[in-house]
Amino acid sequence: MQDSAHSSELVGLRPYHVVMKARHDVLIVGGGLVGASLAIALDRLGLDTALVEATPAGALPAVFDQRNLSFATATVNALTALGVMQKLSAPTGPIRRIQVSRRGDFGRVRLDAADYGREAFGQVVVARDFGMALEARLDELERFTRYRPARFVGIEDEADGMRTLRIADDGGERPIGAKLVVAADGTRSGLRAALGIGHDERDYGQTLFVARIRSERAPDGTAYERLGDDGPTALLPRGDRHFGVVHAVAREQADAVAALDDAAWLARLQDAIGWRVGRLLASGPRSVYPAIGAVARQTVAPRAVLVGNAAQTLHPIGAQGFNLGLRDALTLAETIESGIERNGAVDPGAEALLVAYAARRSEDRERTLAFADGLARLSANPAPLLRPLRSLGLLALDSVPSMQSGLVGGAMGFRGDVPRLCR
C-alpha cells in the first residue's frame, strides 16, 4: 500500500496528543463499492483524498461476499476507464438477453442486446472478486490516505472552509479536516444522520436469499427475472458456468426457508423459476438480506454530499442499486473536475459545486427510484384486478419498439445526465 506519511497506519504509531489534525481535500466515510470507486475516480484529479473504513487492512468489507452484481454497460465502461475491470481475476458473465415474466400472468418481455447493436447489456460480477479488484486498484493510488480500522463518531459545523470529522480507532478519537466530506456509509448512514438529513424508508416485507446455483444447462448469456406475489426470483449468468440466484420470500417465511436443506431449497427455486435452465442440481451457501429501501430527503449539505446507498437504497429488482450509486460517484468527480478545468483549482466543497452536482443527479435519481420502486410494488401485488393490466403491460413491452428502447436505455445505465466515463 502506498499510504502517504500522514496515513492512519503511520500516524497511529505516534502519541495522539502531539498529532496535528490531518487535512484533506475530500474525506470519504465508507470503503464499500461506491466509496472505493469514488476514491479511484478522484485520484485522477490530483486531489488529496482519504477513506475512513471499518474493515482492517488485509480484509474486505462484508458487502464483498458471494452475491452477484449486475453491472450495466455504463458501469462496465466507467470501471474499465478507471482500471478496475482489468484487475478482476474471475471471468465475468455477459448479459446478452433478458427475459421477464410473472407467475400467473400471461405475456413476457424478451430483450436481446444484438437487436440494439450491442454484444451485451452488461456483465455479472461476483462481489468478492470486485472487492479484490478495487483493493488492487486502491493500492496504486498516490495522494491517498486510508484510516482503518476506524469508525465515524461525529461531525462539526463548517468553519474556515472545512468540515471536521471525529473518528475513533484502537488509539482513541481524533479529528480530521476536509473541504468536502462524503457519506458512502450505506443504508443506515451514521454520517447522514449526523448531518441532520432525514430519509424515507420503505420496508417491502421481503427477505432476499442469494446463492450460486448449478443447473442442467449452463448459462448462455440470458438473465431471467420471474416475478411473483412474494417478490422476484432472478437467475443471472455468471462467468463460472453457474447462475447467481436472488430469491425473494415474504418476511414471515424467511426463517422457514433458511431452515430448508439443499434439496428442499432447490425444489423451492425450481417451483419459482420453472424449467428455463433445466433441472437445478446444486446450490452454494445462502446469504440473507432484508429488502428495505431508503431515500434521503436531500443529497447535499454544507461541505457534505451523500452517494450510493447513503443517498438511496433501492429494491434489488432490476439490479439498479450499485449502478446508480456509481453514477453518483462519477458525477461528483466529474463536477469537481469541471471546476478545475475552468479555474485551474477548485474547492471541492464549494456550495455552487454541490448545487450543480445535485442538479445533475436529479433526473437519473428520480427516474431510477420511480422505476425500481414502482416495479417492486406492482409486480408483488397479488390483486386479481391487476393481473390483466400487468399482462397487457408485458405484452406491450415485448412488442412496442419505442417502449423497449426506453427500458433498455435505463437498464444499460443511460438515464439523465450521464457521466463521461460511462459513455
pLDDT in tens, 23-75: 999 999 999 999 999 999 999 999 999 999 999 999 999 889 888 999 999 99
What's the pLDDT band for 5 if we cut at 50, 70, 90?
very low
Query: Residue 358's pLDDT is what?
Result: 98
CATH of domain 8-200+292-422: 3.50.50.60
CA separation for the pair 49, 142 (Å, rounded): 10
Mean pLDDT for the stretch of residues 369-387: 64
Query: Residue 394's pLDDT is what?
Result: 47
Q: Is 311 exposed, middle or buried (0-12, 13-18, 19+ CB in 10 A)?
A: buried
User: In this model, does residue 401 exceed pLDDT 80?
Assistant: no
User: In this model, does residue 385 exceed pLDDT 50?
Assistant: no
Mean pLDDT for the stretch of residues 164-181: 95
Q: What are phi and psi of 107, to 5 degrees?
A: 90, 155
CA dihedral for 7, 8, 13, 18, sign (positive or negative):
positive
**pLDDT per residue as tens digits for the range 141-156:** 989 999 999 999 999 9
Contact 28, 41 (CB under 8 A): no
Q: What are phi and psi of 100, to 5 degrees?
A: -125, 130
| Residue 356, SS3 per DSSP | helix
Buried b or exposed e, range 114-148, using 16+ CB within 10 angstroms: eeeeeebbbbbbbbbbbbbbbbebbeebebbbbbb
**pLDDT per residue as tens digits for the range 73-126:** 999 999 999 999 999 999 999 999 999 887 766 557 888 999 999 999 999 999
Q: Minimal CA–CA distance to 124: which of 158, 85, 152?
A: 85
Q: For the residues of 245-263, what is the DSSP string, one character each?
A: EEEEEEGGGHHHHHT--HH
Domain boundaries, the chain: 8-200+292-422
Q: Minimal CA–CA distance to 185: which of 291, 305, 320, 30?
A: 30
| Residue 294, SS3 per DSSP | strand
**pLDDT per residue as tens digits for the range 338-363:** 988 888 878 999 999 999 999 999 99
Q: Minimal CA–CA distance to 24: which of 183, 182, 178, 156?
A: 178
255 or 110, higher pLDDT? 255
